[in-house]
Amino acid sequence: MHSVLHGSRANGPGLRSVVWVQGCQMVGPNGEDHCPGCWNSPTWDTCGGIETTPNMLARQVITEAADGTEGLTISGGEPMEQAGELVSFIEIVHHYRPEWSIGIFSGYSHYELTLGSYRLTQFGGQEVSDEWKRIYWSALRSRLDFAVLGRYDRTRPCSDGLISSHNQTLELFTDHYRREDFQRLMEVSVSDNGLTTITGFSS
């Protein structure tokens, strides 16, 4: 993972914990390496971040969550590059916090995810079949309340809720939220050791 933030209101409706995963090999909207203008470039390096397990990360998120937390958001980096571990992590969180809503940001479109057409990083360099990738997405989607999907394209700026470019989509998989619940906010948080985190969306 890259980092964890608790008590966020800028990464989905209500008070949320946010996990940024480490690693992104995304091809940009016009074939570039990564999406030009992405402001999470420190999360790209697949060799960086903090090594953990789904169980350890779930325990950390659950025990450190702010009072009144209503959900979990996963961002990155590209979460789907660790789809198997992500499914395990979310299943554990859901077991202990079934009342939490869960959302995800991915650079892949819903169509690509449904086809299993996404990169999946696997220890040892083993290839994962599209069939398994479809299974992972199906399992993940069954626990998601919302997803913001699609590559960031800075040539098509958009200020609609949590969508940053017009090619992206907000998918609602349950009736937990309505589209008007997704507000565009930017927040700055300072940890006890002075680490400053800026997250969210400018108007």
Residue 55, domain CATH = 3.20.20
- Tell me the C-alpha distance between 16 and 42, whole Å: 22
pLDDT band for position 40 (50/70/90)? confident
Mean pLDDT calculated for residue range 142-154: 96
- Residue 177 domain boundaries: 3-200
Is residue 198 predicted with pLDDT exceeding 80? Answer: no
pLDDT band for position 121 (50/70/90)? confident
Q: What is the pLDDT of residue 188?
A: 72
Look at the chain and report how many structural domains it folds into.
1
Q: What percent of the chain has pLDDT over 90?
A: 74
Q: What percent of the chain has pLDDT over 70?
A: 91
Q: What is the pLDDT of residue 125?
A: 65
Nearest to 173 by CA among 141, 137, 139, 133: 141
pLDDT higher for 190 or 85?
85
